[in-house]
Amino acid sequence: MTRIAVVGAQGMLGRDVVERLAPEYDVVGLSRAQLDITDAQSVNAVITEFDVVVNAAAYTAVDDAETHSEKAFAINARGAQNLASRCRDANTRLIQVSTDYVFDGTKTVPYAEDAPTNPQSVYGASKRAGEEAVMAENPDSSLIVRTSWLYGVHGTSFPRSILQAGLTRDYLDVVNDQWGQPTWTVDVAEMIAQLVKAEIGAGVFHATNAGATTWHAFATALFDLAGWDTARVRETTSAAFTRPAARPAWSVLGHDGWTDRGLPAPRPWEEALTEAWATGLSQFAVPKQSA
C-alpha cells in the first residue's frame, strides 16, 4: 500500500488531507511537534520509506511575516528545501502546498499555472522561495499546489470570523475590491488525492474552487446561509483597512493544469460552500451556550 506522510497534519488543511487519504492509503500525520522541517537532520530521520510527502506546513501569519521574515523564510523556504532534498534522496514524490500570494494581484484574468510570479509581501516571497527551492532540489518528483482563500472547520478562517462577528455586531464592513476564490479545505484535500492517485510526478496545479467573488460577496453569501439580514454586511474598500502586508487585489487562479492532465476541474465555490455549510460550517453561526 502507498505510504504517505502529511506534514503540518494538525493544521486546517492538513487535518482534512489526512482524513481524505487515510481510507485508501497508509497515512502518517506529522505535527510540528513531531517534525521540525527547518531542521534538516530531523527531516532526514523522520522522512523514511514514504512514497509521497504532502507538505501542508507553513508560516501563514501574513502580517506578522513583515516583521518576522527570518521565521517565515525558515519554515516556508528552508523547510520546503529540506523536504525536497530528502524526498529526492529517498525517491519520494513531494506535493508542496503554496499560495496565490506568489502573484502580484494586478491581473484581471485568472493567473495561469506558468504565469510569472511577483510577490508583494514577505509571506508571498517566502512561499515563492519555497517553490523555487523545491523545484531546484527535486524537479522531477515535485508538485506545486497553489491554493487561496482557504476555509474549513478545523481552524481560523474568514467564514468563522465573519459568522462569529455576525452573532454580536449589528453591522460588518467588508472590502469589495479584492477578488478571489473561496476554497474549501475538503475540496483541496480531494484535489491532492487526485494527484496522488494519478501518480503525476511533477508540475504546478492551482487547487482553488472555481469562479470569482469579493470578500464582501463571500460574507453576504455566509449571512444568507445563516438566514441573517444581508444588509448588515456593508461594502468598504481596502484603503479603509490598512494592514502591514499587501493583499492581492486579484487572487483568481486558472485551472488548466487539471484538465490538461485529464483530471476533474475544480467545482464552483458556491457549490462547495453550500456543502461545507451543511457538513459543519454552520456551527459557527450558532451562539455559544453559557456554562
Q: Which amino acid is at 67?
A: T
Give domain status of residue 284, yes or no: no
* CA–CA distance, 97 with 6 (Å, rounded to integer): 11
pLDDT digits (tens, 9 = 90+) for 22-43: 999 999 999 999 999 999 999 9
**Would you list the DSSP string of 34-86?**
T--TT-HHHHHHH--S-SEEEE------TTGGGT-HHHHHIIIIIHHHHHHHH
The backbone region for 91, taken as left when phi is positive above 0, alpha when psi lies in -120 to 50, beta otherwise, is left
Is 192:146 a contact under the CB 8 Å cutoff? no
Residue with cell 462569529: 164
| Average pLDDT of every residue of the chain | 97
CA dist 179 and 253 (Å) reads: 11
- Let me know if residue 289 belongs to a domain: no
SS3 228: coil
In a domain, 169, yes or no: no
d(C-alpha 135, C-alpha 203), whole Å? 9
**Is 101 marked active-site?**
no
User: Is residue 100 domain-resident?
Assistant: yes
Q: Which domain holds residue 21?
A: 3-156+181-212+250-268
211 φψ region: left (φ > 0), alpha (ψ -120 to 50), beta (else): left
Q: Which of 248, 266, 184 is nearest to 221 (CA)?
A: 184
Q: Which pTM does this prediction carry?
A: 0.97
Active-site residue identified among 59, 111, 123, 151: 123
Encode pLDDT of 63-121 as tens digits. 999 999 999 999 999 999 999 999 999 999 999 999 999 999 999 999 999 999 999 99
* Number of structural domains the chain divides into: 1
168-177 per-position pLDDT tens digit:
999 999 999 9
Q: Does 17 fall in a domain?
A: yes
Query: Is 59 among the domain residues?
Result: yes
CATH number, domain of 53, equals 3.40.50.720
290 pLDDT higher than 80: no
- Grade residue 241 by pLDDT with cuts at 50, 70 and 90: confident
Assigned domain for 88 exists: yes
Does residue 120 lie within any of the structural domains?
yes
